[in-house]
Chain A
């Protein structure tokens, strides 16, 4: 009883305002009522009230101290005299003062940390305690414009430890996100080194650019859907300290108009205060080879098959003595190689009382497994800060990098790609002729005028080189201990230069008489100024923080492309004498102005609330529509902190969360609200070769009303931990609706805006679409004897429905018809075509079936007569497959035994389909190129799914149909790694503090029923409307790596 009084007294001593006192009293009351023994507590209250006045404190010691964790002071920790209700919480600087009796035991606790007990000793009135983290449950997580403890986050924020990521040998960090957290699905769009990746947060995204917003050390970077190159290529993954993913609108709203697809926050490493200087060196070396290959006809089989096609069409055979051709050339084998990968990193970190630094140098180089593809990055980073005074701190992050990516010629995934042109090339032609030169393509009328693929790949290429420089400087000033002002200035300058040189050659039927030159320079600059005020208030059980901020950003990009031809080789520069001289100069400018505020409120460590509002103005929209406001609110309840929840049972913590918010999507081209005059509608009056008269006309229709797309998301989640936090479990439901989607709406040809096969389009705010799903993640850490282990898994379900769309959107033209169709009531980018229903086995079957084609014969594919009109035509097309998985998942396991560590990471997708356009081409009989190694239907081979061999395909077996749609589910073991950490004494022999040697295999196993080379085909051009189409994608490589990390 007395204790309560002391409690008050202690606070009186601190001379806190009386209002605080009252507040504290109310809280105390509430605390009291929280207990299970309500009546007993009521009595206490009564007594408390009576005794409050006039009783004196006797025999007390005033103890003060500081509570911190490994990162510094810990505000809001609770200090309770054990067995009593006397308690205080630490202030913003982790300081506390409490009165207790000699011999009492103080209980120092904080959610997520191991509780510590300290016996009160009259000789020690000042104590400093560092709490140890209980588990990763309460790590500090970077959130928008700040960092929060996991236990106080109300939104859906996932974090990935860089240690987990670095097990993966990937050129770019987006790739390494795969399978790591629930709600984030990642697929490689092109497995070329440094290739593009689609990252989707909560669902598959929408019709337009669905990549998340990346915020790197505070600088927001919008990236586009990409296939050939990852936009994050210039970032060295080894420099990353933390990655947080703001999955829901409740947390992402702080980035307002650009946060519709979620936000990936990346902070780079810094030195720590009072850290001894340390040098870390890591070296990694690996060898890669193609994980799978194409199963093509060999030369003899190809020649026989070709002859069969010709003779069945009544033409003479092409090849004689086919047996002599033998195996011939396996062109896929010819263009692929065993390729090296190396990664060398050195970093220097350290800190004094007033400053710290992190300096790193990195060199990453990956040769592609296909000739003439590679990626290389050199990066240098300096992060440093300096405390000028107790109140004033300045710092900067500076990085310079150079990347060079050599990608294959041709389109990324298409019949013109280097992969396709090689795989399809004639097995009857050797790579080299007898003199060791590249074999020409025989000019005999049969062979297409295609050049030897190895020759093509041997032409020296000049990959795009990106030089980028990014820097920010910031100053933080504590106006009062609770009020901090921060101002930051960011600047990014990057230059991309690209050159392409064609070649003059004469290789049989394939001839080029011109050397073409393309040179392109793209200069971009991005500047941002940001000011924030951060106010924190901790009064007893109340913890409040308020952020207000403002930012202005300006982005400019200018690209200049010059191309032309010369009739002689050897030109390195381009001048006005070039033929077909073409100049293309494009300028893009955009700017943003933003105001934002975020309020966090925590009561008693149990009840949490976050509210965010951001107001953004953008140059992308017209003057009437350019401002948008994005609010969000989320609440959390640390249920297990309640007294009525027993803490001694299996459950160690339980938290419920719910959030709602709105964010915007502004991923459209600049200037859509107005229109300018387009040039290029030229015409060659006078009929002089190489001369045109310029033609100008309106190239579009302005949309002055164009506005943000609004994404409204709500989600609920539960976080639970069991068995002393060994088992952690999180489940969440999300529902994300995009309204007023920014959609390129196809226009009637009558508008006069069509371009080739594509109708003119105007971007309009129309339609809506919902992504929803469940996310689960579970993690268990345990020990068995000397083995400690960690098991984790995550799973995300994906539901996508287009609720409203003005007209269907068709995409991915193949053989003049579109593969996907996005329509109201269905999900994004489903495959559209005929339903294949086996093969006709007899003439009777053909004649009794709906009419397909006059010359349809046994061995041709039977298509379903969907509308029942007894004719198979376009009206019988329907939806034949969905590229969106039912769920995606990831899993990992790590074991530690003695000095050994072992880990496995994997991921998978389930329930999606792939349109195998590769097969469509590999079975194309009208084309003289090589074929899939298959046996066609014939009267002696009726039990097959492959249609008959007929040269001009009268039944149009190659039309888009379910024949080419396959189950795309797969499970991949992504990485297996085994490491050994040297004993300290052993390490010291080589002068190191620590050393670890490891070996790993990447992509060792893939389990799938998909018949193509690899089931991870990603999105064409990074677009969700052209997802799951396999059309000669770059092959996945298997990587064997050894590495050594040393800390000096």
Chain B
């Protein structure tokens, strides 16, 4: 009996005396310790990589760029709406802009994700203890460029937005007020100036996709058009001439968008997309786009077709004869040729003897189909396994040299340097296979109009149109295409954001 009493004593003492706190302390083993994170160069690089990650999220260059930039514009027609995303695309096109539209939220949250991660890097780079000043500068430059790019994607749409340049507590984030758009533009400008001074002009092959000096200057040239700092825009754009960029030939124009010529000599900054990770339907996982929503062999993929109505035919209205960009941008049913790997031949679009599963609307002769972002091989224009995977991994351009030249042309013209502007426009038109006949450098308005028209054509379906119209104060021109923007200029701040933050 005594022995048993000892056992009782033992158990009692053991459990009461044993280190309770130690027993109750469990360390999270599912990740690195946040206190010591970013002390090494490797971790700093990984933290910078994370800033890039939202670029291929749905609100940004996975899908949002074209939905927010083109759907509310005269480049497209979008009567179709199905599934999880469709109604919101259509609502944007119809100018029924509810603050519950997912694209507003996805753009908003996607950008702030990038901004948060950039701020985290900028605040913690000092902790890195095994790196070189050059590397730290390069990383700082990337963080600044990306923060500016995300802010650009916010302010150009929403106008006034919260301006955050440091790590906030959750209470601060949940109660922050907006800053005037002008302050945000100033921040972008200064971040880009600084980034341009820190960034290298190029990277090794396996680092392709990182922000360069050219990217910083290129974006700066666009940003300064928004702030009407035309001299600044022109000079920023001019920097790129010394950085080795070259327009590709008109024969290669389409290759920049069909997977054959990613990261070309014309590419200044491009969203990198690759296959092999699935998750096509995710809003942010995987490394692919949602541009299957335009594929002609997916029955529901009737989104953002080139605008063609009884009174408005984009091909006839926009493209001059001989403009090589037309075929690179728009496919005309029964007329244009495409490549079919299955038959190993080039044949008319859509060839029903090779594939039967064409969308009904493209079977109508003369129907328009967006060409940019369709893979070269029509095999991939469908859904199904790896083909599909491959089909949605075409890089999306963020800044092209052609745009920077057009920025420069516009800035110069606005700054009354018409001759210089004319020269820049000529570079674009020449590449497209067009002459400058009839375009004078004497009439500022006419020259600017021509620059705007060429800008629209050059950058069609790349997500610039709505922003350009807004910047120019020309949203009302949408009326002539049969659209009515109903006075909506800035995107509404997302409803779910306002529900959380009473100060918005």
Contact = CB atoms under 8 A, between A and B. Distances in A.
B480 interface: no
B209 A512 contact: no
A686 B393 CA distance: 13
B26 A685 contact: no
Nearest to A529: B15
B387 A591 contact: no
B209 A686 contact: yes
A284 interface: no
Contacts of B205: 686
A759 interface: yes
A696 B382 contact: no
A684 B272 contact: yes
A447 B300 CA distance: 9
A674 interface: yes
B116 A751 contact: yes
A619 B356 contact: no
B384 A511 contact: yes
B496 A746 contact: yes
Contact of A590 (B26, B387, B497): B26
B383 interface: yes
Interface stretch (B230-238, B274-282, B409-417): B274-282
Contacts of B293: none
Given A619-B25, A684-B274, A749-B109, A807 B209 contact: no
A701 B170 contact: yes
A873 B98 contact: yes
B106 interface: yes
Contacts of A808: 499
Main secondary structure of the interface of A (DSSP, over half): loop
B200 interface: no
Contacts of A696: 32, 37, 43, 46-47, 49-50
B116 A686 contact: no
Given A684-B274, A686-B205, A698-B34, A510 B300 contact: no
B275 A531 contact: no
A687 B262 contact: yes
Interface in A491-549: 504, 508-514, 529, 531
A676 B34 contact: yes
A682 B385 contact: no
A752 B117 contact: yes
B112 A750 contact: yes
A751 B168 contact: yes
B276 A587 contact: no
Contacts of A224: none
Contact of B20 (A514, A593, A670): A593
Contacts of A754: 109-110, 112-113
A684 B382 contact: no
Most chain B CB neighbours (cut-off 10 Å) among A589, A684, A685: A684
Contacts of B276: 579-580, 689-691
B348 interface: no
Contact of A626 (B5, B24, B50, B99): B24
Nearest to B107: A749
Nearest to B286: A580
A449 B112 contact: no
Interface string B4-42: 110110011001100011011110111111100100000
B4 A477 contact: yes
B217 interface: no
Nearest to B110: A754
Contacts of B29: 587, 589
B307 to A, nearest CB: 17
Contact of B53 (A443, A681, A750, A756): A681
A129 B233 CA distance: 105
Given A675-B34, A695-B49, A748 B28 contact: no
Contact of A670 (B26, B173, B208): B26
A925 to B, nearest CB: 10
Interface stretch (A5-13, A55-63, A788-796, A810-818): A810-818
Interface string B85-122: 11110000000101110100110111011111100100
Contact of A685 (B210, B386, B501): B210
Given A683-B53, A687-B272, A952-B79, A617 B20 contact: yes
A591 B23 contact: yes
A695 B46 contact: yes
Contact of A681 (B24, B50, B87, B274): B50
A444 B43 CA distance: 51
B455 interface: no
Interface stretch (B125-133, B358-366, B460-468): B358-366
Contact of A619 (B24, B33, B47, B206): B24
B28 A676 contact: yes
8 contacts: A487-B11, A510-B384, A683-B287, A686-B207, A688-B206, A747-B174, A759-B496, A927-B83
Given A671-B28, A695-B51, 15 more contacts: A444-B357, A449-B357, A509-B299, A511-B384, A512-B384, A513-B387, A617-B24, A676-B31, A685-B52, A687-B395, A692-B287, A699-B31, A747-B174, A808-B499, A813-B84
Interface of A: 315, 391-392, 442-449, 477, 479, 485, 487, 504, 508-514, 529, 531, 550, 552, 554, 565, 567, 579-580, 582, 586-587, 589-593, 617-619, 623, 626, 670-671, 674-699, 701-702, 746-757, 759, 762, 807-808, 810, 813, 815-817, 853, 873-874, 924, 926-928, 952-953, 956
Interface of B: 1, 4-5, 7-8, 11-12, 15-16, 20-21, 23-26, 28-34, 37, 43, 45-47, 49-53, 55-56, 58, 79-88, 96, 98-100, 102, 105-106, 108-110, 112-117, 120, 162, 164, 168-170, 173-174, 176, 205-210, 262-263, 272-278, 282-285, 287, 298-300, 355-360, 363, 382-387, 390, 393, 395, 494-497, 499-501
